[in-house]
Amino acid sequence: MSPEDFINAIKESALTCQKEDGIPASFTIAQAALESGWGESRLTRESNNLFGIKADPGWTGERTRIATTEYVAGVARTVDAWFRKYPNWQASILDHAKFLKGARYATAFKTGSGVTFGYAIASAGYATDPNYGTKIARVIHTHGLESLDVVASEPAIIPQSPQENVMQKLLAMWSVFKVGESVANPTLWKTGAITVTLLSPLILKLGDLFHALGWTISISDQQAGMLAGGIVAATNIVVHLVANKDMGVQ
């Protein structure tokens, strides 16, 4: 299924949840796309589970056991887990809205936009992926889903207030800071041990920060990788030259 077809397939349900439950439509669509692989994941095809919601002890409906990727201390590993099973995508979207309205994600409903909503549920521990909020934000930006958050469903959604805009900027800045911690170790730079996999997420989060600040700067995954590669190459050259100089190599 193409991204366009997927968006059209769940857009009305997402707008309904936006109107009735206060969940930004852009977030619902972006998270569904990310979790389901645009409707093509095994979990979605076999169980109509668009959001990867697990079958916890309180779940009384059907369930299915399937392998999934979890991050432990930042390292991805594959584990088996039980997930909820639905009769159709509509049921999955409605249950997702109900699931998010638990106390754990209450802060997300104070953010105002799909991007900040995504960062908030990521901070609350919806997924173990350390880049989860950024991935949701990139789907929203790439496919222009922000426009759905102010689309006319009756009553029309009020545009972000100044306080909500500040919240979006602060969340984006905090996200950059948290990722920046992983590459701020001076030893990495002095030894040339800085890597593309460390730098790329930071560059992508900077792109999200630029967007939150209203700057018309967009950074794609490929551009982030290329920029990170250039920085790593330059760092290695400098470290090599300094090391040779210190050893008296001419």
Percent of the chain topping pLDDT 70: 66
Q: What is the 3-state secondary structure (H, E, C) of the chain?
A: CCHHHHHHHHHHHHHHHHHHHCCCHHHHHHHHHHHHCCCCCHHHHHHCCCCCCECCCCCCCCEEEEEEEEEECCEEEEEEEEEECCCCHHHHHHHHHHHHCCHHHHHHHHCCCHHHHHHHHHHCCCCCCCCHHHHHHHHHHHCCHHHHHHCCCCCCCCCCCHHHHHHHHHHHHHHHHHHHHCCCCHHHHHHCCCCHHHHHHHHHHHHHHHHHCCCCCCCCHHHHHHHHHHHHHHHHHHHHHHHHHHCCCC
Fold of 1-159: Lysozyme (1.10.530)
Examine the pLDDT at 154 and tell me if it is beyond 50.
no
Examine the pLDDT at 53 and tell me if it is beyond 80.
yes
How high is the pLDDT of residue 12? 96
Q: So which residues are the catalytic ones? A: 70, 95
Among all chains, which residue has been given the structure tokens 């979605």? 44
CB 108 within 8 A of CB 124: yes
Examine the pLDDT at 183 and tell me if it is beyond 70.
no
pLDDT band at 157 (very low <50, low <70, confident <90, very high): very low
The mean predicted confidence, pLDDT, of the chain is: 80
Is pTM beyond 0.95 here? no
